[in-house]
A and B are shown apart, each in its own frame.
Chain A
Amino acid sequence: MSIGHTLLGLLESGPRHGYDLKRAFDEKFGHDRPLHYGQVYATMSRLLKNGLVEVDGVESDGGPERKRYAITDAGITDVSAWLEQPEKPEPYLQSTLYTKVVLALLTGRSAADLLDNQRSEHLRLMRTLTDRKRKGDLADQLICDHALFHLEADLRWLEMTAARLDQLAEVVAP
């Protein structure tokens, strides 16, 4: 995910301090991986240098100085461009799992057991996500659903591969 674009987008509703930005980001997008302060300030100084944000004011209230950032017109254009650009689909053609399956076949180990173990591991995670989804709000549900659909796709691949192990063994035989 582009942290720069996300922070820019959050600034569109009005100027904010770095701390507010971090809090808004963590609350909406950072469930598993909250931002570090260092990341926020490094990102903001890059955006400032590129003219996508400007300093809207500096407060100190007796403590350290706090900058308030505002998005510029160039920043708004940048957010629009990012939202309009589709994400590149990731085809995972060089999957570690595929490599493991072939190696198991080549070395006379059980590829079926390997696939079964992976299957249980995937389903265990799916169960955890489903539970979290059940207890969470709509945002939680959507985040978990995204992960669940990807895990489900992996599982379907595991099933297909399990059903074709004999064929695969012939193809990859030395």
Chain B
Amino acid sequence: MTPDGSLLVAQDLHKTYGSTPALDGASFSVHPGEVVAVMGPSGSGKSTLLHCLAGIVTPDAGTITYAGREISSMSDAQRSALRRSDFGFVFQFGQLVPELTCLENTALPLRLNGVRRKAAERTAREWLERLEVDDIAAQRPGEVSGGQGQRVAVARALVASPKVVFADEPTGALDSLNGERVMELLTESARSANTAVVLVTHEARVAAYSDRDIVVRDGRARDLEYVV
């Protein structure tokens, strides 16, 4: 049985790298517009869980259902199409394309979805304004601060109106003040757009921006919402 109205549900995921089990029976669910924090110590399998949920990694066993479709049985091409149309991503480091300006970086997901340059950059600029970094639109990632770069990354993750944003330690490289502001902007923007957020973090103060949290230990996730 899956939780009613869930957008993304994983059941009993298993994944082994070599002889090391990364996931050992992990279950998870998220509703539309919900912010769920995935917590746990380093090496507990929380990033592997995120990669499986986002269709980046295929689990050895278990099922992942997104909006009623089984992700693990899709082809690679179908999965990348899904990631482009419905998912957004924010990581800890090095995610912006260094050769492109911050505006071009933000517009990239729309351009990949076939939106024309002018329209894409207009929407991108709106998102940069919302994330309070429209003043650096013409600069390249190497010319801006870590906090500014991360706001650009958040703008890019949300620009194509995804249904789910996957954020893996999105504030890991920022100081407290910048990290908090990024979390505030990310969760506010996502909630107002009814975008779900899967937030991997080991920091409790970051997790406190979520609606709910689950803990991954030794590859097993305890999702209290989840009824087996």
A134 to B203, CA, bound (A): 18
28 A–B contact pairs at CB < 8 A? A116-B215, A119-B215, A120-B213, A122-B204, A123-B204, A123-B207, A123-B208, A123-B213, A126-B204, A126-B205, A126-B207, A127-B208, A127-B210, A129-B208, A130-B205, A130-B208, A130-B209, A134-B184, A148-B205, A148-B208, A149-B205, A151-B204, A152-B203, A152-B204, A152-B205, A155-B204, A159-B41, A163-B41
Complex contacts, A119 vs chain B, CB 8 Å: 215
A152 to B202, CA, bound (A): 11
Which residues, 52 to 101 on B, are CB-close (under 8 Å) to A? none
Minimal Cβ-Cβ distance residue in A for B183: A130
What secondary structure prevails in chain A residues at the interface with B? helix
Which residues, 71 to 121 on A, are CB-close (under 8 Å) to B? 116, 119-120
The 0/1 profile, CB within 8 Å of B marked 1, for residues 123-145 of chain A is: 10011011000100000000000
Minimal Cβ-Cβ distance residue in B for A122: B204
Complex contacts, A134 vs chain B, CB 8 Å: 184
**Which 9 A/B pairs are nearest by Cβ-Cβ distance?**
A126-B208, A130-B208, A155-B204, A152-B204, A127-B208, A152-B205, A148-B205, A130-B209, A123-B213
Complex contacts, B207 vs chain A, CB 8 Å: 123, 126
Minimal Cβ-Cβ distance residue in B for A160: B41
Complex contacts, A129 vs chain B, CB 8 Å: 208
Q: Which of B41, B205, B207, B208 has the most CB of A within 10 A?
A: B208
A116 to B208, CA, bound (A): 16
Which residues, 177 to 213 on B, are CB-close (under 8 Å) to A? 184, 203-205, 207-210, 213
Complex contacts, B203 vs chain A, CB 8 Å: 152
Minimal Cβ-Cβ distance residue in A for B213: A123
Minimal Cβ-Cβ distance residue in A for B177: A145
Expressed in whole angstroms, the minimum distance between the Cβ of B138 and any Cβ of chain A is 31
Minimal Cβ-Cβ distance residue in B for A119: B215
Q: Which of A116, A122, A123, A152 has the most CB of B within 10 A?
A: A123
Complex contacts, A149 vs chain B, CB 8 Å: 205
A134 to B209, CA, bound (A): 10
Complex contacts, A163 vs chain B, CB 8 Å: 41
Complex contacts, B210 vs chain A, CB 8 Å: 127
Expressed in whole angstroms, the minimum distance between the Cβ of A159 and any Cβ of chain B is 7
A152 to B206, CA, bound (A): 10
Q: Which of B184, B204, B205, B209 has the most CB of A within 10 A?
A: B204
